[in-house]
A = this chain, B = another copy of it.
Amino acid sequence: MNTNTTMQAAVLHRAGDFRMEWVPRKEPANGEVEIRLLCNGICGSDVHFYREGRLGPFVVDRPYIPGHECSGIVSSVGSGVTTVREGDRVVAEPGIPCRHCHHCLSGRYNLCTEVRFLSAPPIDGTLAEYVVVPDLWAHPFPDSLEAEVAALAEPFAVGLHAIRRGGVQLGQKVAIVGVGPIGLVTLLCALAAGAGPIIVIDTVPARLDLALRLGAAVGINAREADPVAVVHQVTNGHGADVVLETAGNSGAAALTIEVAGRGSTVVQVGWPEAANISYPLEMVIDKELMVVGSNRYAGTFPAALELLASGKVDAKQLISHRYPFSKTPEAFAMVAANPQTVIKTLILHS
């Protein structure tokens, strides 16, 4: 049993009102584990809540704790837990499904409509001293993996799931539209899978530069060149074998269809700005494309942690900023003020 009943947490009260506070500390129940956090990454969705107080159907209507990209150490386990032990270093998978519906039973638990997602308000996230999750959602990682790299498992799970949905293979010509943090992890995953050449498309020079340093073959600034023409040229007129959209806007979504080769696959990862967008569906038929949605991940964390531990991806290059836990509000303010140059900001717990 924990001797302390409170803990420090970063609490978002409403848009822009972010405070370090003492909050109640939960006990792990039967089948649950408590994790003492070592590191947290700041996700774009966290920043949306910070800046606008809402994202999609989720609204900050009471104080809650953001954060869902984390690594930590098991500090306490409830009864009946056999998968991990106190002292194990683990990453918490933040989307906790019902485990009873047919999606859960078939392994596609990301489709579960009862999923509780840590940091989707009003459900508290991981920007605290401790977090409690069911045992199966605490994924151990080896000593060889640094805690701050392990905290990237969540975005890498998104990237891995995306390339799996797209069936990205050795030697395929891939285009990635949007190279913010998710586009960059997707790039690293696709490179690790032997895809190439990989063409990245964005409008922010700094991101394109980083993508090229990470291994992209060609970077296209969509403000300066015609992506369709360049992809056409690089692929000898065939178009890309797989296109992944991580930009989350309607123009980018339409562009994926244009740069896709006949018979190819398009993976839509980014959520466009509106429920309905203008979309070249006719071309989907003509080229006989397969357009697949990619929604978070399912069963992907172990593979993401193995990938990070394997050294096949240089994830550290994505870490652009580091802040101590006590400065979490300051970190959010910085990220919100620099949407284009910040890649991944980490919060380090002492």
Roughly how many angstroms separate A136 CA and B268 CA in the complex, as a whole number? Answer: 33
Q: When A107-B106, A108-B107 are in contact, do A294 and B299 touch as well, CB less than 8 Å?
A: no
- A234 contacts the other chain (CB 8 A): no
A347 to chain B, nearest CB (A): 28
Interface contact A111-B291, CB-CB below 8 Å: no
Say whether chain A's binding surface is mostly helix, strand, loop, or mixed. Answer: mixed
| Pick from B99, B110, B277: contact of A281, CB under 8 Å | B277
- A67 contacts the other chain (CB 8 A): no
- A284 contacts the other chain (CB 8 A): yes
A193 to chain B, nearest CB (A): 4
In the bound complex, residues from chain B placing their C-beta under 8 Å from that of A295 are 285-288
Identify the interface centre among A103, A192, A285, A302: most chain B CB within 10 Å of its CB: A285
Stretch at the interface among A17-25, A37-45, A123-131, A306-314: A306-314
Nearest opposing residue in chain B for A106, CB measure: B107
Roughly how many angstroms separate A269 CA and B285 CA in the complex, as a whole number? Answer: 7
In the bound complex, residues from chain B placing their C-beta under 8 Å from that of A99 are 99
A→B interface (CB under 8 Å): 82-83, 99-100, 102-103, 105-111, 113, 136, 160, 163-165, 169-171, 189, 192-194, 196, 238, 250, 253-254, 262-263, 268-269, 271-272, 274-295, 299, 302-303, 306-307, 310, 312
- Besides A103-B263, A111-B287, A289-B292, 19 other CB < 8 A contacts? A99-B99, A100-B136, A102-B302, A103-B262, A105-B136, A111-B262, A113-B262, A163-B170, A170-B194, A171-B192, A268-B281, A269-B285, A275-B282, A276-B278, A276-B280, A285-B293, A285-B294, A289-B293, A290-B292
